[in-house]
Amino acid sequence: MYARWRKYGRSFDLGKMTLRDLFVAYGSHPAVHLYLALALASGIYAVREAAGPWRPLCGVLATIAAYPVVWYALHRFILHGRFLYRHRLTAPVWKRIHFDHHQDPHRMDVLFGSPLNTIPTILLIVIPLGWIIGGGAAGAAAAVCAGFLITCGYEFCHCIQHLNFKPRSHMLRRMKALHLAHHFHDEEGNYGITSFAPDRIFGTYYGSPRERSRSPSVFNLGYDTSEAARFPWVAELSGGPPRDRPPARSTRDKQPGPGEAA
């Protein structure tokens, strides 16, 4: 199962995969297994330590409510910020967590965040929230459990948004259209994945590409050739200058997909 990801992980092109391929790839992804294991462990701890269900439940509800707002803030101000690539030590992190995804939005291997980055971020946010709202260790553990389960749901919805597949659900189709506009029209808006309420509140929502001019930095996030000349570390790690459009499908590695034989 993990051998597929080690050998073919960089060839999983959501633009070529079917829904069945996605289920196989998602179900075999090591990050998903790790998130589910951490959710199970923290959930068991919360049940064992809780004096009753209500305070931990408050921690879970607080996590559910906070998640879209926290994601919006991280996505808009950290992932789309221009300060990380300007330092040698943080440039590799920025490249991995978001630049690669915008350079080639349908690559599943870079769509998933690295657990080395996602797990500390989730814990840093949900433990204090769950501890305060949920009343101690049990509430914090319940919030951690909810955080990892929500992350699994976010990652799956994110995959659907880049999959060559038209959802039957009107809600999913709308989410997909809004997110793809963020990737292919104007990156300075529609920062949500499953909820665009923060975009509406903070004025970054746009319902149609017709409402805005196309951004010249939608694929490079402002890290263009002039920025690469000043701050070369991301370009060096990428093996070339930043692109202003995704690569043609024919130029991507053509290797067996998750459900195919080698």
Residue 195 lies in a domain: yes
Binning pLDDT at 50, 70 and 90, where does residue 100 land?
very high
Domain count, the chain: 1
What's the pTM? 0.86
The per-residue pLDDT for range 81-91, each reduced to its tens digit, is 999 999 999 99
Q: Which two tokens stand for residue 239?
A: 């093996």
**pLDDT at residue 262 greater than cutoff 70:** no
Rg (CA), the chain: 19
Residue 237 lies in a domain: yes
Domain that holds residue 218: 12-246
* Nearest C-alpha neighbor of 90 from the set 78, 102, 107: 78
Q: Mean of the pLDDT values across residues 17-25?
A: 90
What contacts 7, CB < 8 A, 6 or more positions away? 262
Angle at 194 between CA 115 and CA 179, to 5 degrees: 90
Q: Mean of the pLDDT values across residues 88-117?
A: 92
Residue 60 lies in a domain: yes
For 46, 169, 226, 227, 235, the CA distances from 110, given in Å and listed in that order, are 32, 26, 25, 22, 16
Residue 7 lies in a domain: no
**Any idea what DSSP says for residue 243?**
P
Binning pLDDT at 50, 70 and 90, where does residue 255 land?
very low
| pLDDT reported for residue 249 | 58
The per-residue pLDDT for range 176-204, each reduced to its tens digit, is 999 999 999 999 999 999 999 999 999 99
Please name the amino acid found at residue 46. A
Judge whether 196 and 174 are in contact, CB under 8 Å.
no
Please name the amino acid found at residue 202. F
| pLDDT reported for residue 114 | 87
For the chain, the average pLDDT equals 89
Residue 256 lies in a domain: no
Q: Mean of the pLDDT values across residues 21-42?
A: 94
Residue 5 lies in a domain: no
Residue 115 lies in a domain: yes
Binning pLDDT at 50, 70 and 90, where does residue 8 land?
low
Higher pLDDT, residue 251 or 45: 45
Return the number of other C-beta atoms located less than 10 Å from residue 154's C-beta. Answer: 17
Q: Which two tokens stand for residue 105?
A: 């939005």
Residue 214 lies in a domain: yes
DSSP string, 146-172: HHHHHHHHHHHHHHHHHSS---SSHHH
| pLDDT reported for residue 261 | 35
Q: Mean of the pLDDT values across residues 142-159?
A: 96
